[in-house]
Amino acid sequence: MPALNFQRRFAEDVEYGIKRQSVRARRKDGRPHCKVGDELKLYTGMRTKTCRLLGRATVIRLAPVRIEGTCMYLDGRPLLSAIYDRDQIEQTDNEFAQADGFKGFMDMAAWFDDTHGLPFEGVVIYWDQPR
């Protein structure tokens, strides 16, 4: 059963089902983190004395993602910028970032730049309501 660990800043949102997606770097060994239908264990503080299970959930979707300094791509398609496309029905980069626990796209891009460097390529894991 795959397990995902979350920083303390994201833990409460994961536990209460507010955050139901996570952007992950590709594994060095090339294997996928999980597949659709897998049950996930969602943790915070893994490998520490304060490790805590936040919940269990089922993977419902996986999608490749690329994050650049001023734009991002989901499933190979650019996400619209909320700055320029406020009246669009499709998900914007800010909405994606907020669903992932950030204030907005620029906050998310800065975090990925500091943590992984940009451009960042990885996968978004989506899951159902945690139990």
pLDDT digits (tens, 9 = 90+) for 6-58: 999 999 999 999 999 999 999 999 999 999 999 999 999 999 999 999 999 99
DSSP 81: P
Q: Could you tell me the pLDDT band of residue 90, with boundaries at 50, 70 and 90?
A: confident
Residues written for the chain? 131
> What is the separation of C-alpha 124 from the centre of its chain, rounded to a whole number of angstroms?
5
Phi, psi (degrees; rounded to nearest 5) at 15: -60, -40
Prediction pTM value = 0.93
- Decide if 62 contacts 125 (C-beta within 8 A): yes
Do you find a cis peptide bond into 119, omega within 30 degrees of 0? yes
How far apart CA 25 and CA 99 sit, in angstroms, is: 18
